[in-house]
């Protein structure tokens, strides 16, 4: 990768802030890129908090940018269609002046390419700047919007506006599990961030014995309530539960540990240390249980377009069981906990998705 104008090589990166799954995937890819190109300078455009990318160290410069909407959700399972349509009406079509300002910024930063994890604004800015673009996805918003058009017909119009933009990427990479296969795209394995600690060290940090059953509950980056906490303490005292994104600080109460979103423990390490993961069937958690071999009890929303491909992948590649989304908040899923804890850990395959993606990007520059 040649240097430009005497500076370190730079790339622009636009990441959708819809949950933490896209940020997790982008972070894994950027970590892999830095292994091969340690001088690479990363200009990051997103509203995902800066701390999420702390593993990238000094090679990252953060530009807080409202680069993507996706869907407005009231919680981890429910889409607010009225709010989504209202916000999309304010965003699309993109303001040409705003796109030109972003393009000028990318050129002023000497970005040699732009990587987008489904944030279409980055693709538009790269085109205006005259620099190559890379799209990384397992779905695109036009596909999601078209799939939800029965519930909100106006979404079909936004799908049609965005489709040519997503098709315009100079390099298109699809990461398993893929929702809609594109013949012209490169397809790679699931992308998960690398583990940092052994399962034993993670358990030791939590103050747990090696033999104590550990259930890790993670619902992604969308704020969610956990009204069943009392039942965890009263009915399952022999099991330790660790819950991600459940407070503002680390808090341990008997057999329940609540973790903040900005947690000192690495999410993939918690997945690997657990005997069972409970959570929403979302990309980053799926990639992490795949990489760790940890059994997964996953909540499925039948009305969401992404669910069918994700569940098909889980049934094929992950030891687990589908759970009913409506049973999460009321704790009915706990009735299945003995069955879920009896699931056996699978042998974890080599986690190569991030490296595959990084190599494709390096070869394109």
CATH number of the domain where residue 217 is located: 3.40.50.2000
User: Tell me, what's the pLDDT at 222?
Assistant: 66
Q: 92 and 217 share a domain?
A: no
Does 23 map to a domain? Answer: yes
Nearest CA to 283 among 310, 319, 323, 308? 310
User: Tell me, what's the pLDDT at 4?
Assistant: 42
Query: Please, what sign has the CA dihedral across residues 71, 74, 76, 78?
Result: negative
113-138 pLDDT, tens digit per residue, is 999 999 999 999 999 999 999 999 99
Q: 171 and 238 share a domain?
A: no
Rg of the Cα atoms in the chain: 20
Has residue 348 got a pLDDT over 90?
A: no
CA distance 8 to 42: 10
User: What is the count of structural domains for the chain?
Assistant: 2
- β pairing state of 251-253 and 256-260: antiparallel
Q: For the residues 338-350, what does the mean pLDDT come to?
A: 92
- β pairing state of 296-300 and 276-280: parallel
User: Tell me, what's the pLDDT at 221?
Assistant: 63
Does 2 map to a domain? Answer: no
Label residue 6 by pLDDT band (50, 70, 90).
Answer: very low
Mean pLDDT score of the chain: 92
Has residue 170 got a pLDDT over 80?
A: yes
User: Tell me, what's the pLDDT at 69?
Assistant: 85
| Long-range CB contacts (within 8 A, 24+) of 359-362 | 359/36, 360/171, 360/173, 360/186, 360/188, 361/29, 361/33, 361/113, 361/115, 361/134, 361/171, 361/173, 362/1, 362/33, 362/36, 362/37
Does 142 map to a domain? Answer: yes
Per DSSP, the three-state class of 121 is helix
Label residue 277 by pLDDT band (50, 70, 90).
Answer: very high
Q: 178 and 235 share a domain?
A: no
Does 242 map to a domain? Answer: yes
Q: 178 and 262 share a domain?
A: no
Q: 37 and 181 share a domain?
A: yes
Q: 178 and 263 share a domain?
A: no
User: Tell me, what's the pLDDT at 302?
Assistant: 77
Domain range for 300 is: 199-341
Does 273 map to a domain? Answer: yes
12-42 pLDDT, tens digit per residue, is 999 999 889 999 999 999 999 999 899 999 9
Has residue 247 got a pLDDT over 90?
A: no
Q: 237 and 306 share a domain?
A: yes
Label residue 340 by pLDDT band (50, 70, 90).
Answer: very high
Q: 205 and 185 share a domain?
A: no
Tokens read off for 43: 């200009």
User: What DSSP string runs through 336-362?
Assistant: GHHHHHTSPPPPPPP--HHHHHHHHHH
Q: 186 and 203 share a domain?
A: no
Q: 187 and 204 share a domain?
A: no
Helix H segments across 92-184? 96-108, 120-129, 141-147, 155-166
Q: 219 and 167 share a domain?
A: no
Q: Which of 16-25, 69-78, 210-219, 332-341 shows the lowest mean pLDDT across its residues?
A: 69-78
Helices 283-292 and 307-317, axial angle in degrees (round to 10): 10
> Residue by residue, what is the 3-state secondary structure of 186-220?
EEECCCCCCCCCCHHHHHHHHCCCCCCCEEEEECC
Q: 47 and 69 share a domain?
A: yes
């Amino acid at each position: 990768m040649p240097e430009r104008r005497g500076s370190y090589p730079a790339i622009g990166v636009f990441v959708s802030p819809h949950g933490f799954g896209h940020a997790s995937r982008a972070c894994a890819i950027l970590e892999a890129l830095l292994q091969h190109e340690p001088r690479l300078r990363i200009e990051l455009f997103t509203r995902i908090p800066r701390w999420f990318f702390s593993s990238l160290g000094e090679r990252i410069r953060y530009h807080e940018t409202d680069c993507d909407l996706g869907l407005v959700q009231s919680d981890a399972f429910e889409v607010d269609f009225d709010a989504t349509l209202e916000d999309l009406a304010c965003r699309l079509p993109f303001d040409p002046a705003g796109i030109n300002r972003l393009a000028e910024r990318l050129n002023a930063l000497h970005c040699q390419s732009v990587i987008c994890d489904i944030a279409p604004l980055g693709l538009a800015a790269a085109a205006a700047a005259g620099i190559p673009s890379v799209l990384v996805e397992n779905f695109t918003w036009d596909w999601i919007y078209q799939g939800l058009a029965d519930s909100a017909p106006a979404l079909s119009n936004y799908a049609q506006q965005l489709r040519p933009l997503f098709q315009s990427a100079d390099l298109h990479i699809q990461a398993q599990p893929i929702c809609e296969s594109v013949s012209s795209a490169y397809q790679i394995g699931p992308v998960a961030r690398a583990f940092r600690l052994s399962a034993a060290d993670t358990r030791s940090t939590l103050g747990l014995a090696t033999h104590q059953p550990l259930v890790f509950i993670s619902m992604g980056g969308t704020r969610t309530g956990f009204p069943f906490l009392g039942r965890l303490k009263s009915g399952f005292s022999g099991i330790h539960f660790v819950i991600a994104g459940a407070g503002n600080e680390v808090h341990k109460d008997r057999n329940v540990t609540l973790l903040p979103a900005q947690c000192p423990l690495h999410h993939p390490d918690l997945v690997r240390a657990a005997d069972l993961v409970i959570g929403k069937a979302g990309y980053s958690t799926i990639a992490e249980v795949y990489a760790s071999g940890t059994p997964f009890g996953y909540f499925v929303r039948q009305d969401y377009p992404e669910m069918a491909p994700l569940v098909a992948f889980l049934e094929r590649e992950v030891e687990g069981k589908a759970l009913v989304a409506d049973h999460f908040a009321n704790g009915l899923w706990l009735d299945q906990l003995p069955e879920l804890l009896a699931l056996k850990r699978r042998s974890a395959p080599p986690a190569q998705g991030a490296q595959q993606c990084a190599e494709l990007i390096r070869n394109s520059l």
